[in-house]
Amino acid sequence: MKKSVKEHFVPQHYLNRFINEKEQLEVYDKITGKYYTSSTTDVCCKKDYFTPETAKENFKQGESIEQETAKLDSEYNDTLFKFLEAINSNVNINTELRTKISWFIIFQYLRSPNIRRINTEFRREINQFIQENHPDSKTKVKTDKDSEKINHTFLSFNPNLIEILSKRLFEYIWIFGVLPNKKYAYTSDRPVHLYSHKNMGPFGITIGNPGTEVIFPLTKSLILCAYERSHFLSLEKYDCKKSDLTEQNILFYNSIQILRCQRQLLCNVLERKFINEVIQKQK
């Protein structure tokens, strides 16, 4: 049987763009309320996150999941490096690079624990509906731990779903928010966030909804702010351009990471007073 291993749902190469001079991250644990420092190897990960027990019994099956994730993360690293290089050099973002970045952002969005939680809750609601409306039915959707992992893995690696969502993101207006010296962008175990600037649809916020903004910190000094085009047409002239973020912008984007992270908030420097204030306001 394959041994349990830590599997990252946020790649370490991405987290390395938020470390301090000691090559560590400051971490706020939302569950315990504690602050501590950590290497990138020990955050945003879980034992056998993608690998169910049935796969551990079949070494090749478990190994293939790890290999595929590692391969994609390696490609993600190369693509993100080229993307950041183009931004910092004020070079036009070509179609190929924009397509790849869109793909990887969606992959990161889908692999998060939050999407797993939503998917599991949806499956439980299906069972509840069947039980309430068809009590004699023997049909039941599996919601055990292995099924939870398997379904989330299929969802995260679904090429058709990633293609649909990444094409929508590609069409957004992309603005690269630059933070001033000594101001830092927070990231988390759920780095990609959707924020609605108008009423949400019947299924909540989804990529492509009018008025949606996709927020993704690229480094501790740069945030990708992508705006759904039809609602934010006035911003079109700023597409793929850098823009200095105001103090209010920074507070807004960091607050979203604080409030919506699954458990771990991360950066090279965390302002504890600010974080505690944001948490208290939510209560």
168-191 confidence digits (pLDDT tens)? 999 999 999 999 999 999 999 999
What does the pLDDT average to over 58-65?
61
Q: Does the structure show a pLDDT above 80 at 202?
A: no
The model's confidence at residue 208, banded by pLDDT at 50, 70 and 90, is confident
So what's the pLDDT on residue 56? 62
So what's the pLDDT on residue 206? 82
Query: Nearest to residue 181, comparing CAs of 218, 221, 216, 219?
Result: 221
So what's the pLDDT on residue 200? 60
The model's confidence at residue 55, banded by pLDDT at 50, 70 and 90, is low
Q: Look up residue 233 and give its two tokens.
A: 């047409």
The amino acid that residue 115 corresponds to is: I
The amino acid that residue 283 corresponds to is: K
What does the pLDDT average to over 32-49?
94
Query: Any idea what the Cα angle at residue 184 is, between residues 183 and 187, rounded to 5°?
Result: 160
For 88, list phi and psi in degrees, rounded to 5. Answer: -70, -25
247-260 and 272-282 helices cross at what angle (nearest 10)?
60
For 10, list phi and psi in degrees, rounded to 5. Answer: -125, 120
What residues contact 206, with CB distance under 8 A and at least 6 apart? 194, 212
95-110 and 145-156 helices cross at what angle (nearest 10)?
170
What does the pLDDT average to over 69-77?
91
Which residue stretches of 174-271 are H helix?
247-260
Q: Does the structure show a pLDDT above 70 at 197?
A: yes
Round to whole Å and give the CA distance between 144 and 29.
Answer: 26
* Residue indicated by tokens 């939302």: 30
Q: What is the pLDDT of residues 4-13, one digit of tens each?
A: 678 899 999 9
The model's confidence at residue 58, banded by pLDDT at 50, 70 and 90, is low
Phi-psi region of 33 (alpha: psi -120 to 50; beta: other; left: phi over 0): left
Which residue stretches of 58-94 are H helix?
59-88
Residue 55, CA distances (Å) to 136, 143, 145, 275 in order = 33, 17, 13, 40
CB 25, CB 37: distance < 8 Å: yes
Of the listed ranges 34-38, 198-202, 210-214, 272-276, the one predicted with least confidence: 198-202
Neighbours of 73 (CB within 10 A): 18
> What pTM value is reported for the model?
0.90
Q: Does the structure show a pLDDT above 90 at 23?
A: yes
